[in-house]
Structure formats: structure tokens, C-alpha cells
Chain A
Amino acid sequence: MEQRKYVIIGNSYAGVFAIEAIRRNDKEGTITVISKEPHRAYARAAIHEYMDGIIGDSQMYYRDKDFYERHAVTTMLGSTVTRIEPKKNKVVLDNKQTIDFDRLMISSGGVPITPPIEGSEGPGMFTFTTWDDAKVLRDWVKKQKDPRAVVIGGGLIGLQCAEGLKHLGVDVTVVELADYVLVKALDQITAQRVQKWLEENGLKIVTGSTVESVHRVKGAVTGVKLKNGEKLKCNTVVLSIGVRPNTGLTEGSGIRINRGIMVDNAMQTNVEGIFAAGDVAEAEDFLRKRADVLPIIPVATMQGKIAGYNMAGGKKSYPGGLPQNAFQFFGKNTVSIGNVIYADKLGGYEEIIRDEGGTYKKAVLQDGRLVGILSMNYITRIGIYNSIIRARMDVSGIKNRLLSDDFGFLDLPKEFRDEMLTKPG
């Protein structure tokens, strides 16, 4: 059989897991990875910890140095794909070079959303999604005599960046348009507690407003003006209002886009042989039964793995993505799994809340079935709830036990326990 040519666009979590899956099933084909970033795969989700020096280079790489060699992968790092030509089975790079493929995976990730803000052109403005972003921002604030930053956007990336800057001795103000921070990840109660904790640790947070203009004197940033009229002195502005799927390279290719690249449960696009995975892909959401972009690591790796298997002739089906977030700010942990915010916004959900001794735990039920779990400051064995949500289990009979600190397998039906614990995982 002729060697199959695999091409992967993007070298992050989805790409790495796709490589491993392809190689498990096809030892002969060629694999080429094309990435606009110059680095081998690194922990994108840890750039804030790298910025403030908590971790070094060795903790940033999640695969060995010889990973690409061992998997017989040709890397083209620092190259950008500008166009895909499905009919010719080619991708075109920024230097006009073309690469042939039999199977293509697009995992080009997300790009920061950068709305036009008056005065935003010029030095002192930053985004925060890549390793290089973190290095550039760190070097910049270290050069400032009185480093003062305004972070636009109180989502996960914005707040992690803000904490990193705080550790570097920067005076930080976060400006969030919504009424509270982390509006996409948490319910209002938890978000407000996180916000209070951040403020106790020295971050300033302005909600319900956004930056209208950036002021400069002789080109240098001197402050920002908010929509509510307030003025903040600063020399550094970080734009972190969110990311959108990086779909630009599919223009004119006939690959179907909604918010992200639309894929079926094999992770294949509408064009046969072309797959997509990770933050650029729009795939089925397990709970809501409709397609959505879910830019989190477990989803990117699972999608990459499934795409890889299927590109190599396997048959694996995506079970649907489940929102999952684990994060900590200044040492305090929060985990959320499933739908924890819809209960705030829509009716028809039942909430069980345990709020005592600094711990806040919430379960969200829909028709008796567990659909979401949220926990602050107590995360022991929290992952068990994943299996319960995935099993669409009716938990109305164990409501009184569901949020106990020692909740475990003995609280669950024997058949379920046996299924999980007496068979290979």
C-alpha cells in the first residue's frame, strides 16, 4: 500500500494527541505538522505561571524532545498555512510553498479577539495566548519603572494574566464588561467569591464597564478611559476579552464554518478526508445536544485523538464535549463540570447547594439527572461526577449524599459500580 500523507495544521494539544493516535494505527504513513509558532508543543495553559517564574522551560514542554522523531513526524514550525485547496489535496503556505495531503487535520486553535479601541495601535498593548506573548509581556513590565497594567476582560485568561502580573509586582486593574468575572465558567455566587478573593490579594476589578480609549503621550501609553467615564493610569494594556476560532485559512475552500469549523462525530468536516479538532472546531456538546466550540484541553485532546484514529482508518466516535474547568487563583481551587450556569439563567433546573466552612458545592439537576457540578475549595474526588453526568444517571434518590465530602462509589448503584470497577478502565 502506498504511504498515506497526513498533514496536521497546528502543534498544540489536539495536534499532539492526533499524532499519537495516527501512529498507533499507521506506522508507515508520513506525518507533517505545520505550525506558525516556532516552539515544539508547549503548555499553552501554563503561560501565566511561566511569566511570573513559578515554572521554567522544562515544565512547559509536555512531550520529550525526541517526540517528533520517535513518531516520525516532519515539523514545519514557524510556517503559516494561508489556504487549503481540497480539490488538489494541497495546503498553501505563506511562502507559497504547497504541501500535499491525503488526510488533513485543521487544529489551528483560536485567535484573540481585538476590537478597535481608540489609541490601541502602538507599543504597550498586548494579547496573552502564546508563550511568546508571555515572554514579551514579562520583559515589558520588567522595564517599566512603575508598572501599571489594565487587563481588558475578566475571563479565565485575563484573570490568570492579571495574577501573573501581580506576582511580578505590577499594579493591576481588570476591567470586565459583565456584572461579574468568569461569566462563562461560573455561576454568580461563585464568581463573586472568586472576585472578592482576587481583590483581597491585591487585584483591582472594575465590572460593568469596558475600555473606551487608550491615551498616549509621545506614543507611550499613559492611561485608559472607561465607558463609565473613569480614567485609569497605566503603561500597559492587555487585551483578553476572548478568543475566536482561527478559521481564516479555510476561506474559499468549501469547508463549512459556523462559529468554528463544523465537524461530525468522526471529527470530519463536510469535505471527506479533512478533519478538525480543538479550539477551532465546532462539535457536538454532550449535554445540550447541539454543536458548539468548547475551547478546553480535555476536549482538544479527545477530539485530536479521535480525528487521528479516524484519519488512519479507524472508527471512533466522539461522545460529545462536556464543559470542564479547573483553576486556581492565589492558591484557591475551583472546579466546574457540565452546565453550572444555565440554572442561573434559565428555569427548569434544580439546584442543590452546600455552603459551609469556606466550601461551596453546587449540583445542578435536570429532570432528576445530574448535569453540572461546581465546587470551591474542596475538589477531592470531584471527577467521579463526570461518570455520573456521562451516564445520565438519575440522582434524585441520593440527593442528600450527593455533595458530601466522602461521596463515593458506595453511594452509587451496585451495577454502575461493578461496571466501572471490575472491568479494565
Chain B
Amino acid sequence: MKVVYPREQWCVACNLCEVACMTEHSKTKDPLKMYLMERPRPIPRTRVEYRPPLSISTMCRHCEEAECVEACKNGTLTRNEKTGRIELDQDKCLGCWMCIMACPYGAISQFTKGIGTEERAVANKCDLCPDREVPACVTVCPNRALVFEDRG
């Protein structure tokens, strides 16, 4: 299946992947409105590490034998048998962080969903942008340091 792969030799730590990811997962799909007005503000599902001269952007690998799915206690994380993607149901999530403990890629984050009394900490990770043909981070990357490929 196709997932996003980093090519660290081309990454310049511009962080545009993170911005594109937040925008794609926002209500307005507009980076400025999203940043200034949306609460809770989306958080990036890809993460840029920067240790000059190196940098790299990594996110969920949608593993075939996904350790997050094996650790999840209530089925919040499941594998979609048709697409192969690992799906996360935030409405179901208990915030137990077994997935964060298990993911060897460090690709799952804590996210505070809702505001005020509705506030609830849930898991958050790359969903490969289900509304797009190519994930937003890949499209926006100026250097092709992120590619969307099937490496079997």
C-alpha cells in the first residue's frame, strides 16, 4: 500500500509539511484562519526533527503488523481490511496512551479535543488525508523530501 516516506537528504526543515497537515485537518482549510481562530487548533500529524545539518519529517507508517492496534485496549485503533490503513476513532479513544507506548515510530500524539467541559485528551496520528489523492504534506513539500509510494 502507499504510505508517506521521508527522504532526509532533501529535507530542509521548512516545516511546511506540518502546516499543510494542520490546515488539511482544520475546519476552514485556511492556514491563517485555522491558526488564529480554530479552537482546539489542529496539531501536526507529521513531526519534523531538526539537528543541523540533519532534518527529517516522520509520521505513521500504517504498519502491516501494527503494534498500536495490538496495544489498543478498546478498538480505537483498527486496521481497515480494504485499504490496509490504520484508522483511529477519536470518539472512542479513552486516552490510555497504550498506543503511544507501543508505536516504535513515535508517530502518535496526544491531542486535546473539544473545548471547555467537552475537553478530552485523545490520540492523534496521520490518516493519509482520506479526502485527497496525495496527502497534503507530500503535495506541499518543495523538495520532494516526502514521497507517497508503495514500497510493497
Residues of chain A touching chain B, judged by Cβ–Cβ distance below 8 Å, are 17, 43-46, 49, 54-55, 58-63, 297-298, 301-302, 305, 324-328, 333, 335, 337, 379-384, 386-387, 390, 406, 408-411, 417, 420-425
A410-B50, A425-B62 are known; give 13 further A-B pairs, CB within 8 A: A43-B73, A43-B75, A59-B74, A59-B92, A62-B74, A301-B70, A305-B65, A328-B95, A383-B105, A384-B105, A417-B8, A420-B105, A425-B64
Contact of A324 among B58, B102, B152 (CB under 8 A): B102
In angstroms, Cα B61 to Cα A325, docked, is 23
Report the separation of the CA atoms of residues A383 and B61 in the bound assembly, to the nearest whole angstrom: 14
Task: Tell whether, in the assembled complex, residue A297 and residue B73 are in contact, meaning their CB atoms are under 8 Å apart.
Answer: yes
Residues from chain A with a CB closer than 8 A to the CB of B56 are 409-410, 417, 421
What are 24 inter-chain pairs, A to B, with CB distance below 8 A?
A46-B96, A62-B72, A62-B74, A297-B71, A324-B101, A327-B96, A328-B96, A328-B97, A379-B100, A383-B99, A383-B103, A383-B105, A383-B108, A386-B102, A386-B103, A406-B49, A409-B58, A410-B55, A417-B56, A420-B105, A422-B151, A424-B151, A425-B62, A425-B66
Residues of A within 8 A of B50 (CB): 410
B152 touches A424 (CB 8 A): yes
Task: Give B59-116 interface residues, CB cut-off 8 Å to A.
Answer: 61-67, 69-75, 92, 94-106, 108-110
Q: Across the interface, which residues of A come within 8 angstroms of B51, CB to CB?
A: 410-411
B137: chain A residues at CB < 8 Å are none
Partner of B71, one of A59, A298, A411: A298
Partner of A63, one of B8, B55, B75, B95: B75
- In the complex, the chain B residue whose C-beta lies closest to that of A42 is B74
Contacts of A409 in B (CB 8 A): 49, 56, 58
Contact yes or no, B6 A382, CB < 8 A: no
Interface size on B, residues (CB 8 A): 46
Docked-complex contact B94 and A59, CB < 8 angstroms: yes
- Closest chain-A Cβ to B113's Cβ sits at a distance in Å of 14
Tell me the total A-B contact number using a CB cutoff of 8 A.
140
Complex contacts, A384 vs chain B, CB 8 Å: 104-106
**Residues of the B chain whose Cβ atoms lie less than 8 Å from the Cβ of A390:** 104
B27 to chain A, nearest CB (A): 25
CB pair B98–A298 under 8 Å, yes or no, is yes
Which residues of B are found within 8 Å of A422, using beta-carbon distances? 5-6, 151
CA distance A15 to B54 in the complex (A): 45
User: Any chain A CB within 8 A of the CB of B20?
Assistant: no
**Separation of A60 and B73 alpha carbons in the complex (Å):** 9
B3 CB–A CB distance under 8 Å: yes
Residue numbers in A under 8 Å from B47 (CB-CB): 381, 408
Q: How far is the CA of A386 from the CA of B103 in the complex (A)?
A: 8
Asked whether A49 lies within 8 Å of B64 as measured between CB atoms, the reply is no
A297 near B98: Cβ-Cβ < 8 Å: yes
Nearest first, the 4 A-B pairs at minimum CB distance are A425-B61, A62-B75, A381-B106, A425-B63
B73 touches A335 (CB 8 A): no
Residues on B lying within 8 angstroms of A by beta carbon are: 1, 3, 5-6, 8, 47, 49-51, 54-56, 58, 61-67, 69-75, 92, 94-106, 108-110, 151-152
Q: Are A421 and B58 in contact (CB under 8 A)?
A: yes
Task: Looking at the assembled complex, report how far the CB atom of B65 sits from the nearest CB atom of chain A, in whole angstroms.
Answer: 8
Closest Cβ neighbor of A300 among chain B residues = B70
Cα of A44 to Cα of B73 in the assembled complex, Å: 8
Known: A383-B105, A384-B105, A422-B5. A326 touches B74 (CB 8 A): no
Cα distance, A380 to B74, chains bound together (Å): 21
Which residue of chain A is the closest to B62 with respect to CB atoms? A425
**Interface contact B104-A383, CB-CB below 8 Å:** yes
Minimum CB distance partner of A401 in chain B: B51
B102 touches A298 (CB 8 A): yes
Residue from B8, B54, B63, B67 in contact with A298 in the complex, judged by beta carbons closer than 8 Å: B67
Q: Which of A54, A411, A421 has a CB less than 8 Å from the CB of B5?
A: A421
Which B residues lie within 8 Å of A43 (CB)? 73-75, 94
Q: Which of B65, B96, B104, B110 contacts A386 (CB 8 A)?
A: B104
Q: Name the one of A45, A63, A305, A337 contacting B101, with C-beta atoms under 8 angstroms.
A: A337
In the complex, which residues of chain A have a beta carbon less than 8 angstroms from the beta carbon of B58? Answer: 408-409, 421
Please give the distance in Å from B3's CB to the nearest CB on chain A: 7
Q: How far is the CB of A74 from chain B (nearest CB, A)?
A: 21
Q: A411 contacts which chain B residues (CB < 8 A)?
A: 51
Q: In whole angstroms, how far apart are the Cα atoms of A49 and B94 in the complex?
A: 9
| C-alpha gap A3/B10 in the complex (Å) | 53
Q: A423, B49: Cβ atoms under 8 Å?
A: no
- With a cutoff of 8 Å between Cβ atoms, the chain B residues found around residue A410 in the complex are 49-51, 54-56
Q: Nearest Cβ distance between residue A189 and chain B, in whole angstroms?
A: 20
CB distance from A51 to the nearest CB of B (A): 13
Q: Of all chain B residues, which has the CB nearest A54?
A: B94
B142 to chain A, nearest CB (A): 20
Are A383 and B101 closer than 8 Å at their CB atoms?
A: yes
Residues in A with CB closer than 8 Å to B92 are 58-59
Residue of B with least CB distance to A324: B101
A326–B47 CA distance with the chains assembled, in angstroms: 22
Smallest Cβ-Cβ distance to B152: which chain A residue? A424
Q: Which of B1, B69, B72, B74 contacts A60 (CB 8 A)?
A: B74
Separation of A408 and B13 alpha carbons in the complex (Å)? 15
Contacts known (A328-B97, A409-B58); A61 close to B104, Cβ less than 8 A: no
